[in-house]
Structure formats: structure tokens, C-alpha cells
Amino acid sequence: MVATAKPLEHTLLEEHEDPRQHLMLDPKPRGEMNAMVMDSMHTTSWKFWVVAILLGLVVLLCLFGAWGYLIAEGLGVAGVNRPSYWGIFLVNTVFWIGISHAGTFVSALLRVFKAEFRRPFTRAAELMTTFGLIQAGLSIFMHMGRVWLSYWLMPYPNERSLWPNFHSPLSWDFLAINTYLLASTMYLFLPLIPDLAMARDRSKGWRKVFYRLLALGFRGTEGEWTHLRTAMNIFAFAIIPVMFSVHTIVSWDFAAATRPGWSSTIFGPYFVVGALQSGIAAVAMVLVVIRATMKNMKYFLRPEHFDAMGKLMLIVSMTWSYFFFNDYMVQWYGGDKFTQMLLEFHEKGPMGWMWFAMLICNVAVPFLTLWNKKIRRTPGLLFTIGLIINIGMWFERYIIIPISLTINRMPFTWKLYKPGIEILLSIGTLSFFILIYMIASRLIPLVPVWEVQEGQMAHGLRKVGKAVVKTVSDLE
Amino acid sequence: MSEIKTLLALFADIDPAVQAIDQLREQGVSDEQMTVISGIPLTEAMLGRPRVWSNVPRLALGGAVAGMLIGIFLAVVVPNLYPIQVGRQALIAGAPTVVVLFEMTMLGMLVSTFLGVFLDSHFPSYRPKEYIEEISDGKIAILFSIPDEKETVITSALNGIGAQSITPAERRQL
């Protein structure tokens, strides 16, 4: 029998794929791209202002108002009480730190591996890191109650001769989160300098002053580019272990305690993957919103980018499932009486619906949908899947923190956590995140134009046999 | 004695800019008397220019060492000054020390890398400089200094290569 090769239908389709659907193969003159990005920052419809004002009101009421009330009345107005001393404040802290991981992951890791699809949206992701960390910090301050004493965390010789205990994961948290906040803000700022200079050259009035101050006098000389590129390379490599350390240390807040459900050697990587799961989904959501609401963004953010993000979401979802099952299996097999009770409580207790919803959101939905290229390339659907994943990841943190705290080794203390003012404060932090992101989108060039142009310069088409394929040159 | 003049030649693309650099060298303009200004990073290899020295990696290393020393102070010296006994852990235990050292080392390294860019590039600098806005639109500018009498020869040579404009470089407020 003779085997004959026949071209598959999809191969034929791909052969006729228009290369211009890829941003890197559809270049525009730099001046035009600059104008598009500036235009996107300057164009704000009435809808933008309505949403901004509404969000501002929610922030005023739910964040500052409710927080003021919490400070005035004390932590009694929150639901945290024995045995769940850690409630939604800590759920939100872990959640927002998770969101913040995506910026660094997308930007640094993909930069190190020269994944070209990252180019137009690294900044949008990096902004999420900084703004997400602000929400995480606010949530910690809320949890403290007496927020004005937060400086006690600082390592300095105070009048009582007390120093923070550096054996405590909470002290490590302080160091790690602050390192990450500083590092990610600097990493956001460095590649922004050339774009701020571009904005400076095209602005008037207060914007001109604003961009001139932030652009620091950048012109684009060989020396400036060399120093900038060297620093960005160092940052891209060094910030990755910092990113991993932050969520690992956050996981040690739990894993270092010998509590049922928490004492796990796999919590570090499990938390890191969880952070990436929610963070990447959030980046995809933000990109969809930016594309839909900002002028000219359809040129920069294309189905290929959503496709790539969808693939990442699927891979991370598989990894999260692996870690979740690994953690579950070992806890289940261990045979500890209270751990067994906790696992049963997760599934069959009053919050069992949340446990199943978590699995549906984090495993079933991405597994069943993201295999499909059409779904991945449809912004609206990807947004919905991202939202579902983020709900699932918030549930996951809720299950790990207040629900797991319900079952401990002292059954007489068992009591289900019921949140109070935390709900308002959660709405407040979410609104604050969206609001500052919206404001930033009108002040900061969200697309790193110089990186896009650099990428377009490096890309070309080459004929291999009968096929025309994409090629990328290494410009560095 | 002839006067030294600083000119700014503008090119639309990298190839004529590279040719212009070679041409300027042929006319006796040394690499130190030229500066290439561009809207995207162009490597020395692309431009055929000598390597730009950067202190950023050394500063990063110095910062890492400084950060590590601060970490050693926090994790090793402080527990001796203000002892807090935790369970059966040693006063200066290995694992917690590693965590503190790692975070402080990375913090020191990244902060000094960031500051290194400022130091090496003389940021912030708000003084007037030789610059034109077309550069951020993707044009490539060569800023060079030549003796007055060579201006005509060099200008016509660069125009022949494809310079879009050659103007006396003016310092202006960015």
C-alpha cells in the first residue's frame, strides 16, 4: 500500500492567512503610531467621565467612608472573630498580589524569552502590577485596624527596644512586598521614559510640563539607550525571582502555621501558579476593555494577542489544576483527623457550593473553552472566561483563608466566618483599582510605541518551499 | 583658527544614517565628535559605532552587595542586639536568614540599577539640549562637530547620501 501525503484543510487555510493580521507584519510609520497613541489618550467620551464619576463616588463611600467607619468603630464591625481572625482583608491581599504577578510575568518573563506577542501590551500589564499592589497594601492596612501604627513593621530601634522578629513570615512579607512594589514601579518607569519623551514632544500646556518632568530630559542618544537597555535586561532577569519570592512568602504566612489545610510543602509554587492564573486572566480582561474603549487600540491589540493570552491562560490553568490536586491528594492521604474534617467541610459544609464553583471556574471553564482558537480570538468571550477565572481564584483564596480557619484542632471554637464591612471595602478596592487605571490610561501611553516599532523592524516574511513564513531577527 | 560648528543631520532610515557615519569618519570626524540620536534603540553593531560604556551593571553589583550587608545587619546583627527566641529555632537560623538576605540583596541591586540609569544618563536634566522632535517620530539624527571650513563639503556629501535636513544644532528646551 502506498501512502500519499494530502494537504490538510487547515494547512491550506493557514497558507492563505494574511500576514498583515499580525501587528509585527503590519507596520505603520512611527509618527502615525505616535499620533494614534496620543489620540487614544486625549479622546475621552462622556461615558468615560460618567463611569469615572460613579467609580469615584463608590471609592469615596465604600473605600474611604467604610474605612473611616472601621477605624472609628474598631475591627468589631468587621466579621473577623474567633476562630477566623483572617477574613476578606487577607483574601483581598492575596488576590491583589496575585493580580500584580501578571504584569511582571507578561513583561519580564516574555521579554527574557523574546516572546514577540508581548510588545504592545507589556505596559498595560505592568500598570496592573503597581496598581494591584496598591490594593494589596490597602487591604493589609485595613486588616491592621490601627493603621496609624503600621510603622511598627519597619525595622528600626524603637523606644521599647523591640525589633520586628525576622523569623516571622509576616516580617518577610513586609520586606518582599515592599521590594516587589519598588521593583515593579521602577520596572514600569524605565521603558516608559522614551514614550514619555515622545508624549512631551507632542503635548502643550500642563501635559507638556507633566511629560517634560517625567521624561527627565531623555533624547534617545546612544548612551541613554545603552544604559536603559542594560538596566531593563537586569530588571527582566532579577525581577522574576523577586516575583516568585513574593507569593511564596505570602504562602508561607499560611504554610508555616501547623494548621489543618495550611501546613503544606507545596503551598509556595501552588500560590505562585494561582497568582499567575488570576493575573493573566486579569491582563486579558484589561486588554479587552482597552481595545473596546480606547481609540485606535484595535490596531495595536489584535486577535493574535488574545489568542496568545488564551493559550497562556489554558497552560496556567492546567498547572494550577496539577498543584491543586497534588495538595489535595497529600492532605487527603495524610489521614489527620482534623484535616479530613476540613476537607469534608470544604465539600459538604455550608460553603461547599464555593468549593465546587472554584473548580468549575478554574478548571472546567478554561479546559472546555480555551482549546478552541475561535474562542481564544474572540475578545468578548475571553473577557468572560477571564472574569470567571478571577471569580474562581477569589473563591480559592476565600476557601483557603476564612473557611479553612473555621475547622481547627479546638472544635469548641468552630464557627463559620461571616463578613461585615469587608464587603463594602472589597467593592471599594476594586473600584479604586479600576478608577486609577482609567485615569492612568489618559495620562500614560499604554502602548510602548518604541517597543512595537523595534519589533516591527525585526520581523519579516521569508519563503520556505511554497510557504511564506514569519521570521524574526535578533536585533540585540 | 577655524571655528567649530555643531550640526544635526536628519535621516529617515538607518542605512543612510550608517553611510553618513562612515562618510563623516572619512572626512576626519572622530567617533567622539558624533552622537546618534534615535527613537528606538540602535545597537553599536547596527551603526558600526564603538561600544558605549555603561556603569549600570557595576552599580547593580555594588547595590546587591550593599543590600546584602543591610540584610546581614537585619538578620544576623539585630537578633544579637535584641534577641527574640522563636520556638526551638536558633537565634540566627539559616532559612529565615536566607529569606531576609535574598530580599535585601535584590532590593539593593534593583534600586541601584535604577539609580545607575539616572547617574550614567545624567537624569534628570532639564537644561536646553540639541534635539528636534522628528526623532521621536522615527527619524535618526546625527549630531556632529566639524571645523567651519569643512561644512560645505560635508553637507553636500550627507545630502548626497540622503540626509533630509542638515541644520546648525540649536540647544532648545525639551
Domain ranges of chain A: 87-147+168-418
Minimum-distance CB partner of A166 among B78, B123, B136: B78
Distance from CA of B1 to the nearest CA of A (A): 30
Query: From CA A275, how far away is CA A124, in angstroms rounded?
Result: 17
Q: ∠A230-A236-A241 over CA atoms, to 5°?
A: 135
Domain A87-147+168-418: state its class: mainly alpha
In A, minimum Cα distance to B75 occurs at: A166
In A, minimum Cα distance to B138 occurs at: A30
Query: From CA A290, how far away is CA A122, in angstroms rounded?
Result: 13
B166 phi and psi angles, rounded to 5 deg: -130, 115
What global pTM score does this model have? Answer: 0.93
Phi-psi label, residue A74: left if phi above 0, alpha if psi -120 to 50, beta otherwise:
left
Residue B56 is which amino acid?
V
Query: From CA B83, how far away is CA B68, in angstroms rounded?
Result: 21
ipTM tops 0.90 = yes
Q: DSSP assignment of A190-236, as one string?
A: TTHHHHHHHHHHT--HHHHHHHHHHHTT---BHHHHHHHHHHHHHHH
- CB atoms A216 and B109 under 8 Å: no
Q: Is A420 within 8 Å of A137 (Cβ atoms)? A: no
- CB atoms A225 and B41 under 8 Å: yes
Question: What count of CB pairs under 8 Å joins A to B?
Answer: 183
Q: Is A472 within 8 Å of A465 (Cβ atoms)? A: no
| CATH 3.30.70.120 domain locations along chain B | 4-40+138-172
The span from the first CA to the last CA of chain B, in angstroms, equals 33
Query: From CA B32, how far away is CA A57, in angstroms rounded?
Result: 58
Query: From CA B159, how far away is CA B166, in angstroms rounded?
Result: 8
A interface mutation test: which of B32, B40, B76, B102 has the most A CBs within 10 A? B40
Distance from CA of A416 to the nearest CA of B (A): 30
Tell how far CA B93 is from the center of its chain.
42
Query: From CA B95, how far away is CA B110, in angstroms rounded?
Result: 23
Query: Which residue in this structure is represented by grid cell 484543510?
Result: A9
pLDDT in tens, A406-418: 999 999 999 999 9
Grid coordinates standing for A104? 511582571
Omega prior to A402 cis, within 30 of 0: no
Domain B4-40+138-172: state its class: alpha beta
Residue pLDDT tens, chain A, 476 long: 556 666 555 544 455 567 778 999 999 999 999 999 999 999 999 999 999 999 999 999 999 999 999 999 999 999 999 999 999 999 999 999 999 988 888 889 888 988 888 999 999 999 999 999 999 999 999 999 999 988 887 777 666 667 788 888 888 999 999 999 999 999 999 999 999 999 999 999 999 999 999 999 999 999 999 999 999 999 999 999 999 999 999 999 999 888 899 988 999 999 999 999 999 999 999 999 999 999 999 999 999 999 999 999 999 999 999 999 999 999 999 889 999 999 999 999 999 999 999 999 999 999 999 999 999 999 999 999 999 999 999 999 999 999 999 999 999 999 999 999 999 999 999 999 999 999 999 999 999 999 999 999 988 888 888 888 888 887 76
- CB atoms B103 and A190 under 8 Å: no
